[in-house]
């Protein structure tokens, strides 16, 4: 009799276990979504049965340690250990759990959400899971075309870049007839915001419309630049002058070698040096006539109390001690060793240069009129700063994240160019005439002021930053 009872219990247990078996199903195809929208990650049990009393866990199976995306257990959501980036963006429909549907709603999709998600459902006697492949499509920012230099044949180097795309887009150059132009260099980078692409080409024809087109499936963004004859005239004149300068440099090099050995014609050598310098000065002056230069004077009333600003407002250094003014320090930086220019600009283009030679710690660029000047400041566009910096022997720019700048030479003088209407802040190395960094597609809605800084709290280097006038 006991044997019969045990047999009945055993068979009953097997039957109950079999009755609880189920299959977790998701989507056989990748789930496609667009950045910024909401998406449903499908997951349910077959046959349909309530999962209210079960454990439902969503996690990223393509990331290290299978990080938690959402957890439902003991009739409630338990997201204490949820990945930070998913906080407030995931939701299970508890009513649908009664029908065996454990699909997850993910709000405000980001490019970083792309990947493999595991839906794991566990009862007291059974468990199963399924994988959902999420693909995120992101349309990036409109492309920006910039003139990046010129070659000795008279051609203009054009650079086109766009960022924030996913997956990687196609970028092509087209002339006014729609004929594709070859890209000479191509750069592609990926970060959490998607792909950034940068292509360059050289144009040898004036009065032509050059298109830069970025395409991703059924999306397309385009930028246009017209290569006018005036532009080519200016650049070709510059090319001729650079060519002359290069030739003269070679000549001077030969002369130095010869005269160093023979120790004669010293006056002739000096004359050639002066002539070469004159040609280079002419070239630099020609390039700068294209730019709207402004006379920047530093406003000592905005300077950190440690800073010493020269009487003419052209130099600033760390004075090593705090000084208070009659105004009680109104609108002054109190931790950031910064100072603004006296005049702000709310339209058009403007350009100025800062000598940084010898200084080992600096920031420079432009800031909003209402920028915060107290406490710890993050010099990013979000907080009203568009700057490049030198820290620890390395050059940086700060956008939404820190950008390391790889420069072939250390700048001695930095030029800052702002196009207010186009939302452009661009930096260049004046002496090497090379590009340093550009903030593009910015939105300006108040005055911008020139800005320089010697870092935070103190700067032991006595070398001043100097606003240049000799250009």
Q: Give the pLDDT confidence of 9-25 residue by residue, as tens digits.
A: 333 443 344 456 899 99
Taking residues 48-52, what's their average pLDDT?
Answer: 94
Q: Residue 362's pLDDT is what? A: 94
The string of pLDDT tens digits covering residues 144-182 is 888 776 666 667 888 899 999 999 999 999 988 888 898
Q: Is the dihedral of CA 447, 453, 456, 458 positive or negative?
A: negative
The string of pLDDT tens digits covering residues 205-220 is 665 788 899 999 878 8
> Which range has the worst mean pLDDT, 23-27, 40-44, 281-285, 384-388?
281-285
Please choose, from the candidates 134, 181, 149, 121, the residue with its C-alpha nearest in 3D space to the C-alpha of residue 34. Answer: 134
- How far the first Cα of the chain sits from its last, in Å, is 109
Q: How far apart are CA 461 and CA 468, in angstroms?
A: 20
Residue 239 predicted with pLDDT over 60: no
Residue 285 predicted with pLDDT over 60: no
Cα–Cα–Cα angle for 402, 406, 409, rounded to 5 degrees: 135
User: 240 falls in which pLDDT band (50, 70, 90)?
Assistant: very low
User: 274 falls in which pLDDT band (50, 70, 90)?
Assistant: low
User: 29 falls in which pLDDT band (50, 70, 90)?
Assistant: very high
Q: Residue 459's pLDDT is what? A: 83
Residue 364 predicted with pLDDT over 90: yes
Average model confidence (pLDDT) across the chain: 81
Taking residues 403-413, what's their average pLDDT?
Answer: 89
Q: Residue 236's pLDDT is what? A: 42
Residue 386 predicted with pLDDT over 50: yes
Residue 313 predicted with pLDDT over 50: yes
- Out of 239-253, 271-285, 361-375, give the one with best mean pLDDT: 361-375
Is 2.60.40.10 the CATH classification of the domain at 144-227? yes
Checking DSSP bridges between strand 413-419 and strand 424-429, what pairing results, if any? antiparallel
Domain at 20-137, CATH from 2.60.40.10, 3.30.70.20, 2.30.180.10, 3.30.460.80:
2.60.40.10
- Out of 40-54, 61-75, 163-177, 273-287, give the one with best mean pLDDT: 40-54
Q: Residue 60 in contact with residue 114, Cβ under 8 Å?
A: no
Enter the tokens of residue 385: 């700063």
The string of pLDDT tens digits covering residues 253-272 is 444 444 444 444 555 556 65
Q: Residue 84's pLDDT is what? A: 93
Taking residues 384-391, what's their average pLDDT?
Answer: 92
Residue 406 predicted with pLDDT over 70: yes
Q: How far apart are CA 415 and CA 426, in angstroms?
A: 8
Query: What percent of the chain has a predicted confidence (pLDDT) above 70?
Result: 77
> Which range has the worst mean pLDDT, 10-14, 325-329, 464-468?
10-14
Q: Residue 447's pLDDT is what? A: 93
Taking residues 140-146, what's their average pLDDT?
Answer: 87
Question: Domain 300-467 is classified in which CATH homologous superfamily?
Answer: SPRY domain (2.60.120.920)
Q: Residue 5's pLDDT is what? A: 42
**Distant-in-sequence, close-in-space partners of 266: CB < 8 Å, separation ≥ 6:** 259
Taking residues 333-352, what's their average pLDDT?
Answer: 90
User: 408 falls in which pLDDT band (50, 70, 90)?
Assistant: confident
DSSP strands (E only) in 204-348: 208-216, 219-227, 307-309, 315-318, 336-340
Taking residues 121-134, what's their average pLDDT?
Answer: 95
Helix (H, G, I), strand (E, B) or coil at 247: helix
Q: Residue 151's pLDDT is what? A: 62
The string of pLDDT tens digits covering residues 413-460 is 999 999 898 899 999 988 887 889 999 989 999 999 999 999 888 888
Q: Residue 68's pLDDT is what? A: 94
Q: Residue 146's pLDDT is what? A: 85
């Amino acid at each position: 009799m006991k044997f019969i009872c045990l047999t009945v219990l055993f068979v009953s247990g097997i039957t109950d276990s079999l009755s609880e078996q189920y299959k977790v199903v998701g989507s056989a195809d990748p789930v496609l979504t667009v950045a910024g929208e909401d998406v449903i990650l499908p997951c349910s049990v077959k046959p349909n049965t309530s999962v209210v009393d079960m454990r439902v866990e969503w996690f990223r199976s393509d990331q290290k340690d299978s990080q938690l995306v959402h957890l439902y257990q003991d009739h409630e959501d338990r997201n204490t250990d949820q990945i930070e980036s998913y906080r407030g963006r995931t939701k299970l429909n508890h009513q649908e759990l009664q029908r065996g549907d454990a699909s997850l709603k993910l709000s405000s999709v980001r490019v970083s959400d792309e990947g493999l998600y595991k839906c794991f459902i566990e009862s007291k006697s059974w468990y199963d899971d399924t994988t959902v492949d999420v693909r995120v499509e992101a349309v990036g920012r409109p492309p920006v075309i910039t003139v990046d230099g010129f070659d000795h044949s008279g051609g203009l180097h054009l650079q086109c870049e766009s960022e924030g795309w996913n997956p990687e887009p196609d970028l092509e150059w087209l002339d006014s007839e729609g004929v594709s132009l070859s890209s000479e260099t191509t750069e592609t980078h990926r970060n959490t915001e998607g792909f950034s692409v940068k292509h360059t080409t050289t144009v040898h024809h004036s009065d032509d419309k050059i298109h830069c087109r970025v395409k991703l499936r059924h999306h397309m963004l385009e930028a246009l630049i017209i290569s006018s004859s005036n532009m080519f005239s200016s650049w070709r004149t510059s090319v001729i002058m650079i060519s002359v300068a290069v030739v003269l440099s070679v000549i001077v090099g030969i002369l130095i070698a010869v005269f160093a050995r023979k120790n004669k014609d010293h006056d002739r050598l000096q004359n050639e040096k002066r002539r070469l310098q004159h040609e280079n000065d002419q070239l630099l002056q020609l390039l700068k006539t294209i730019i709207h230069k402004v006379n920047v004077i530093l406003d000592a009333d905005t300077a950190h109390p440690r800073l010493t600003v020269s009487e003419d407002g052209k130099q600033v250094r760390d004075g090593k001690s705090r000084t208070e003014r009659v105004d009680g320090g109104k609108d002054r930086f109190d931790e950031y060793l910064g100072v603004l220019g006296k005049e702000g600009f709310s339209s058009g283009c403007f350009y100025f240069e800062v000598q940084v030679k010898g200084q080992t710690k600096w920031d420079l660029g432009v800031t909003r009129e209402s920028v915060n000047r107290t406490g710890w400041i993050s010099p990013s566009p979000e907080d009203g700063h568009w700057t490049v910096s030198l820290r620890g022997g390395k050059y940086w720019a700060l956008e939404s994240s820190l950008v390391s700048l790889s420069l072939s030479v250390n700048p001695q003088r930095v030029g800052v160019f702002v196009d207010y209407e186009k939302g452009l802040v661009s930096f260049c190395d004046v002496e090497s005439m090379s590009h340093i960094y550009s903030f593009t597609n910015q939105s300006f809605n108040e005055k911008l002021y020139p800005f320089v800084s010697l870092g935070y709290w103190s700067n032991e280097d006595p070398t001043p930053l100097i606003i240049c006038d000799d250009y």
